[in-house]
Structure 1
């Protein structure tokens, strides 16, 4: 049996009703893709600018380091910002100071199952909404470059876990006051909340769910992993919410640290 030609499948298939209109829907189906595109665009533009400006990313007095610059391990980092030490020399301006984390975090988000759905529909319009024809003549799925890279999501997950550990260390350092003693400020709470939500997004990932219990054939023989799988599965139902919330908390955390580091505002100190 011969394989059907492209013109014989999908919307232009002769087996389907010949409807000239792209859709018969009368509701505002375009609103969700539009808002998704705007939300993603705002984050990408903000994060790109902040990742390259190299200003106001470290508050030495309270040990606040923005997540867009963590880990900062080059000689280009301002004194004190290199929590993990200086590993490389000066970096040119076109390389972000967080070059060890940003590429992997970007890959983790780009290949995320939720984000795929989000930008496939809103940016690539494949399809933009239910009962709305997409403009593409053919569909090859994630079997060719560049979309075949989406299959590496499970590996980017492990990098995301390591980076989340580094962010956790940054948050712990933020509890150190100006004299080396325990300190607590509004910035500390913002950084901590951001890290907690980043962990929630990371461990609610579908790959994490597979790691904890996806390959088990008998849950009864692995009660601990079954319990972990149950917890991750509950978080997984909120993966979309965590995906959007963490975009907001990343911007909020960076913006607050930028204001404090630039001297625009003073950190609200609760202890020390």
Structure 2
């Protein structure tokens, strides 16, 4: 069968009028390394986070450290770790319901609809496209105009929930400086929680939606000097949005791992003050 015959009625790169190239791609470099590494990194985080969210144990250490995967801890099961629930316990204790079920869906929605993560998993999992000059395997591309990808447009709303969750994580990090028996103390765990919160704020603030909130729809920056000041700072952060997207995945795992190891008694939290 000739190339012309194969292309009759075809779509995409094989549509009539497109150059007939028999090879899958003319690239000779290892173009698949980037999407493969991205897929591996995202899968590691998803598997770890899912396992920890449903383990429902070792989430509160030294009577003050709460892992971000369980914040806010609002399940009745949080009673197993006194002091871990800062906002009350009202969700049923069920192995199929994470203790932080109130926040996890919104955080998942914020990450899934994030502009950078869209590019990451579109290329790595959906192969749309996997890399430059590598054709897509899809005969038809509708973009984000149909279900379920049209839900990506809800990113700006998930952003507001992400801000609320970041505030809750900040509160968790601040109250962790007070031990119920020893009063004000500073341990390595406090530094770990603070570093994680700072990185989460950088990721949230560098979001494209945050940049739009600060300076979107303005036609005269000179008339809005305060918003313009914030917009310039957010724009500078926005250039590193990909970096913060990845580093926060690592910081979340490391923070949770530290709290887990302390809760298990595997390591002892080093007290710096108190």
Q: TM-score, normalised by structure 2?
A: 0.94
Out of 78, 83, 88, the residue aligned to residue 86 of structure 2 is 83
Q: Is the 8 A contact 2:58 2:263 kept in 1?
A: yes
2: CA distance between counterparts of 1:28 and 1:178?
A: 55
> CA shift at 1:90, angstroms?
2.9
Give the RMSD, CA atoms, in angstroms.
1.3
Moved more, 183-192 or 52-61: 52-61
Q: Is residue 2:66 matched to residue 1:65?
A: yes
Q: 1:186 to 1:60 in 2, by over 3 A?
A: closer
Query: Structure 2: any 5+ residue segments left out of the alignment?
Result: 1-7
Q: What residue is the counterpart of 1:3 in the other structure?
A: none
SS across alignment from 1:76: helix
Q: What residue is the counterpart of 2:228 in the other structure?
A: 226
Q: TM-score, normalised by structure 1?
A: 0.95
Aligned length: 265
1:117-266 equivalences under 5 Å are 117-177=119-179, 179-266=181-268
1: CA distance between counterparts of 2:24 and 2:159?
A: 38
> CA shift at 1:241, angstroms?
0.2
1: CA distance between counterparts of 2:264 and 2:11?
A: 58
SS across alignment from 1:41: helix
Moved more, 252-261 or 179-188: 179-188
> CA shift at 1:60, angstroms?
4.1
Query: Structure 1: any 5+ residue segments left out of the alignment?
Result: 1-5
Q: Name the one with the larger helix percent.
A: 2
Q: 1:191 to 1:94 in 2, by over 3 A?
A: same
